[in-house]
Structure 1
Amino acid sequence: MSSDETTTAAGAGAQDSPFRHERTARDEAPQFVLPLVVRIERNEPPARTDALETAARAVLVLLSDERSLGEGEGEGETEGEGEWARAVRDWQDSRIRKVVRRARGAEWRRAEALPGITVTGKSAEVRVFPPIPLDGWPKDLARLQVSGTDLDEPEPPADADTAAPVLWLSPSLDMSAGKAMAQAGHGAQLAWWELSDEDRTAWREAGFPLAVRTARPAQWERLITSKLPLVRDAGFTEIAPGLTVAVEGVDRVHALPRREH
């Protein structure tokens, strides 16, 4: 698996957006990264698509967690905000970076002991952690591998449910599972930013349904010219700079049925 270091979003309106290709004041700010760890046991690895979708949901769960933006007090924090809110804010004020590492056995148990949230899919488990400085990795995360293992697809994924957002991957890219998980996470974050508070609540209460699929070549050309949110990778790892994900269906979130608790 590999890490993803920075992205831009085509069509981002802000002059100093974290999703701009050009160098901006954000590059001068302290840089942070969002760590994600996927559990890959030797004999029971998750399916690739499920790992991608679970990573995307993990980013949304972190962004919507009360510790990221809700109640709570602590040293160095603004009164009334959660314990992770300052770290999330600092991360989003700089370039948006996500790094995916893999763990199994005792490595996974040590990762689970650190503050974070584990999100479970059909076969995948992904733990997301509050943002950290680029050079501030906890030792139990720093020692985990970012490469060397990819994931297979036991059977072709079903057609995407178009009632929920779909994160379409570029068909021209050959990405490791870790790289693709980071890109899916970026796409989910762009979708989150597109929504009103009311629609964010609706998506969360529905359980953050989404799909990650690879677009067909002709479909991809349509998607990237349709004024949709787009992820553009800076090309620091694995692939050349360019568009990686198109986010379709954000406008469907308000109609999602609420999940039974």
Structure 2
Amino acid sequence: MTDAASVLEPLTARYTSWLELSDESTADTSDEDPDDVVLMPMVLRIERNEPPARTDLLQAAASAAIAVCLDERCRPGGEWRDAVGTWAAGRIRKVARRARGSHWSAVQSLPGHTITVGTAQVRAFLPMRLSEMPKELTRLQISGSELEPDEPESAVDGVPVLWLNPDIEMSAGKSAAQVGHASMILAALLYGTGAHGELDRWAADGFPCAVRTPDGASWRALHPGTEPAAAWRERGVAAVRDAGFTEIDPGTVTVLAQWPGGVGQFREKLTDAG
């Protein structure tokens, strides 16, 4: 697992600089050819008559995204290494589409991982160029993935918690992409700060995650503020800051990822920016 996790090294190096961006920062995409955009597709199974619980769906999405990144085929020399490594070193984008029935079955043959959590199933795929996306994915709708909010029980002890920003509204598809970013950042920081045993145990359990929405006071107390490295070392908290490509303003912190028990016992490699 440690060898595969090295594919996420660019995230560790970039983490503190992401959080230093001002709230008005925007992603400069003026040099991009849309057909050359590389992204990780995610497909959410949303059956018409039996839609999944929203929380189950988001937890499955978080686990599926990191399962692809830390697949053994992402080890140096592995067949997935170049695809995941190139994507992780650039602008990390995900796009969530919905599927049901035969369309859901059709995407299972494409390279990726399907994760089931409770009532939900999500499949995350190997990152690819938008222009090279197969028809099994391009024919799926991006819109229409909204699900009614639910009220999950308290988060399970010993499982990382991905806290959704209570002050913004995101569709289920957007939220799925954001918690996928959060699980990737957690794995990158665990690898980068020497917590390889923790990462191995998380992988052996199937990368379980709890997704919850805190109240405003709890969110503010958890937020790393201007000290992301210290928040990780002292409290095991990492943040996802959105680039503003879709739905929300650039610079918005969408998710706070909290590792169970903190990480103070781990070797400290992540240094304060500046």
Shorter chain as denominator, the TM-score bin is 0.7 to 0.9
Structure 2: distance between partners of 1:117 and 1:211? 19
Tell me the secondary structure at the aligned position of residue 120 of structure 1: strand
CA contact (8 A) 2:162 2:211 kept: yes
- Which residues of 2 match residues 45-56 of structure 1 at below 5 A? 45-56=51-62
* Aligned amino acid, residue 187 of structure 1: A
CA contact (8 A) 1:233 1:244 kept: yes
- Which residues of 2 match residues 103-122 of structure 1 at below 5 A? 103-122=99-118
Runs of at least 5 residues in structure 2 that lack an aligned partner in the other structure: 1-10, 226-230, 232-236, 266-274
Show CA shifts across 1:60-104 (max 9, x none).
2112211222xxxxxxxxxx6221111000101101111110001
Aligned match of 2:78: 82
Aligned match of 1:33: 39
Alignment of 1:238 with 2:241, yes or no, is no
- Which residues of 2 match residues 1-261 of structure 1 at below 5 A? 12-13=15-16, 31-69=37-75, 81-153=77-149, 155-196=150-191, 197-225=196-224, 227=231, 228-241=237-250, 242-249=252-259
Cα distance, 1:222–1:252 mapped onto 2, change above 3 Å: closer
Runs of at least 5 residues in structure 1 that lack an aligned partner in the other structure: 1-7, 70-79, 256-261
Question: Could you say which structure has the higher helix fraction?
Answer: 2
CA RMSD for the aligned pairs?
Answer: 2.9
Tell me the secondary structure at the aligned position of residue 12 of structure 1: helix
Structure 2: distance between partners of 1:31 and 1:86? 16
Aligned match of 1:77: none
The normalised TM-score by structure 1 is 0.80
Q: Offset of 1:28 from its aligned partner?
A: 7.6
Tell me the secondary structure at the aligned position of residue 136 of structure 2: helix
The normalised TM-score by structure 2 is 0.76
Structure 2: distance between partners of 1:161 and 1:174? 25
Provide the aligned length of Structure 1 versus Structure 2. 233
The percentage of aligned residue pairs carrying the same residue is 44
Tell me the secondary structure at the aligned position of residue 212 of structure 1: strand
* Aligned amino acid, residue 237 of structure 1: T
